[in-house]
């Protein structure tokens, strides 16, 4: 494991664990009205995950921001100011986390930290991501059957489908989970048929 990967994993795990510990020490549950009223509230691991995803998508989608954050000639304080100006409504927990990254000159690692945090969240929820490639849209009754089959196959409570469309499949679907792919497409059946001739 590379040094950067270790640093990213450490940040992600410590952020997650701090939020979980803070949640369990506070008796009050998350209440949307506390956000609207401006009262202090305890963010849960999912709110922190959403904030990380917003920051990640902003940094990754903007070429100029990406270059700015990866350029070591700019001060970390400038980078932190840019983030806080783009996202003025971040939770206190996230602001504190960003300040720690700023002090340690690791703000450029935010996209990787977000990816690792998302993996931790999936494990926490006992959820898995499964990629499904289809030739057309999934019918609702077929999607329900597919989801229940995938839940029993993976042993998870929740399935997050990443659906992609490829009309070249002609019909059927391809399911990718971890490093395994199950090809149940008509295109594969045709290729097997013509290979046998």
Q: How distant, in Å, are the alpha carbons of 146, 157, 162, 189 from that of 149?
A: 5, 12, 16, 22
Rg over CA atoms, the chain: 21
Residue where a domain terminates, one of 77, 92, 122:
122
105 with 140, same domain: the answer is no
SS3 category, 30: coil
pLDDT at 39: 47
Same domain (yes/no): 85, 131:
no
Judge whether 86 and 64 are in contact, CB under 8 Å.
no
Distance CA 144, CA 137 (A): 13
Q: How many domains does the chain have?
A: 2
Beta pairing partners, 132: 163, 175
pLDDT of 66-102, one tens digit each? 999 999 899 999 999 999 999 998 998 999 999 999 9
Q: Are residues 30 and 115 in the same domain?
A: yes
Taken in order 65, 111, 4, 19, the sign of the CA dihedral is positive
Q: What is the pLDDT of residue 61?
A: 92
Which pLDDT tens digit goes with each residue over 122-134?
Answer: 888 888 888 888 8
pTM for the full predicted model: 0.69
Q: Which of 122, 148, 163 is the last residue of a domain?
A: 122
Low-confidence ranges of the chain (pLDDT < 70): 1, 23-42, 188-197
pLDDT (0 to 100) of residue 96: 92
| Average per-residue pLDDT for the chain | 82
Query: Can you give the pLDDT at residue 129?
Result: 83
Q: Which pLDDT score, from 0 to 100, does residue 83 have?
A: 93
Give the β-pairing of 180-185 and 172-177.
Answer: antiparallel
Residues 48 and 79 in one domain: yes
């Amino acid at each position: 494991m590379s040094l950067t990967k270790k640093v990213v994993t450490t940040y992600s795990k410590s952020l997650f664990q701090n939020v979980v510990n803070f949640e369990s020490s506070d008796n009050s549950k998350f209440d949307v009205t506390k956000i609207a009223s401006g009262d202090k509230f305890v963010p849960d691991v999912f709110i922190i995950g959403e904030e990380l995803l917003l920051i990640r998508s902003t940094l990754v989608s903007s070429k100029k921001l990406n270059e700015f954050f990866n350029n070591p000639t700019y001060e970390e304080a400038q980078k932190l100011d840019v983030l806080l100006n783009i996202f003025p409504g971040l939770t206190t927990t996230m602001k504190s986390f960003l300040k720690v990254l700023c002090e340690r000159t690791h703000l450029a690692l935010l996209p990787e930290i977000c990816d690792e945090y998302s993996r931790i969240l999936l494990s926490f929820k006992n959820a898995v991501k499964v990629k499904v490639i289809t030739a057309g849209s999934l019918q609702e009754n077929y999607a329900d059957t597919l989801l229940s089959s995938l839940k029993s196959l993976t042993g998870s409570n929740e399935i997050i489908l990443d659906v992609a469309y490829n009309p070249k499949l002609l019909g059927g679907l391809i399911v990718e989970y971890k490093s395994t792919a199950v090809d149940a497409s008509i295109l594969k059946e045709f290729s097997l048929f013509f290979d046998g001739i």
